[in-house]
């Protein structure tokens, strides 16, 4: 897992410092508080040691402890990673024509995910969504609103992620809605299941080669 290069690790490029990074740091703290608070027990249980985190190495998470409908936020390469245990209802919603007709890239044609997550759920296992929690507009952290709601956070909400900075909307698979400021779907990081119940973020499945640096936009 070690790297001799501060900007790359295992073929994965670390982000350049940019205005978007600054905005993420400046605005992310408030938006992420609620989600992170519920995740603390899991993070403490599964966190790698400090040197691994500092090097940006892979991070493991036991997803068996995430109840259906809940989301845990872990940190990988200084970025929030949303891990959502989808309910059967949510998985059904992902294929609802009413939803699909409102999305900018419903079939994930833009390279915002690895090939092994280019499918109807943008994930390896349909019941677990894994997303980089950074809005593709200017880098805020979208807020998790999994349940449909008539008025909150906006009218006729179908469930998913809402970015409070400028109102971008994403579905529960991180697909962006049409007509909002964000141009692309939320990125999916490289990840794999190292056991039935443990995911490793930062590593491709065995036999897959994919460079996170090749995504269209973070």
What are the Cα distances from residue 85, in Å, to 28, 70, 91, 100, 156?
22, 6, 10, 21, 23
- To ligand FES, the closest distance from the beta carbon of 177 in angstroms equals 11
Question: Tokens 């040691």 — which residue?
Answer: 49
Instruction: Give the x/- contact pattern for ligand FES in 92-131, rule: CB under 6 A.
Output: ----------------------------------------
Instruction: Give the x/- contact pattern for ligand FES in 168-197, rule: CB under 6 A.
Output: x------------xx---------------
**Among 2-10, 34-42, 82-90, 135-143, which window interacts with ligand FES (CB under 6 A)?**
135-143
- To ligand FES, the closest distance from the beta carbon of 59 in angstroms equals 24
Q: Does 165 bind ligand FES (CB under 6 A)?
A: yes
Contact between residue 131 and residue 218 where contact means Cβ atoms under 8 Å apart: no
Is 143 strand, coil or helix? strand
**Among 10-18, 58-66, 67-75, 138-146, which window interacts with ligand FES (CB under 6 A)?**
138-146
DSSP state of 10: T
For 53, list phi and psi in degrees, rounded to 5.
-60, -45
- To ligand FES, the closest distance from the beta carbon of 180 in angstroms equals 7
Question: Tokens 């073929």 — which residue?
Answer: 11
- Mark whether 166 is an active-site residue: yes
- DSSP assignment of 147-187, as one string? S-BSSSSSTTB-SEEE-TTT--EE-TT-PBBTTSS--SPPP
Residue from 31, 61, 83, 138 that binds ligand FES (CB under 6 A)?
Answer: 138
Angstrom distance (rounded) from CA 128 to CA 188? 12
- In the complex with ligand FES, the residue whose CB is nearer, 28 or 159, is 28
Q: How many CA atoms lie within 13 A of 93 on its CB side?
A: 22
Task: Please report, as ranges, the residues that interact with ligand FES according to CB under 6 A.
Answer: 135, 137-140, 163, 165-168, 181-182
């Amino acid at each position: 897992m070690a790297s001799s290069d501060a900007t790359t690790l295992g073929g994965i490029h670390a982000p350049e410092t940019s205005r978007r990074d600054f905005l993420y740091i400046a605005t992310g703290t408030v938006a992420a508080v609620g989600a992170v608070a519920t995740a603390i027990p899991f993070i403490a249980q599964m966190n790698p040691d400090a040197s691994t985190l500092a090097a940006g190495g892979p991070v493991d998470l036991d997803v068996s402890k995430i109840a259906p409908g809940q989301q845990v936020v872990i940190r990988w390469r200084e970025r929030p990673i949303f891990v959502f245990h989808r309910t059967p209802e949510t998985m059904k919603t992902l294929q609802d024509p009413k939803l699909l007709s409102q999305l900018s890239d419903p079939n994930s044609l833009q390279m915002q995910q690895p090939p092994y997550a280019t499918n109807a759920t943008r994930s390896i296992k349909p019941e677990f969504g894994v997303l980089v929690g950074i809005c593709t507009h200017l880098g805020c952290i979208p807020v998790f609103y999994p349940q449909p709601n008539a008025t909150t956070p906006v009218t006729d909400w179908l469930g998913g992620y809402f970015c409070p900075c400028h109102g971008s909307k994403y579905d529960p698979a991180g697909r962006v809605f049409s007509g909002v400021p964000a141009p692309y779907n939320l990125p999916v990081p490289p990840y794999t299941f190292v056991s039935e119940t443990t995911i490793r973020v930062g590593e491709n499945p065995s036999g897959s080669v994919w460079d996170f640096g090749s995504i269209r936009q973070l």
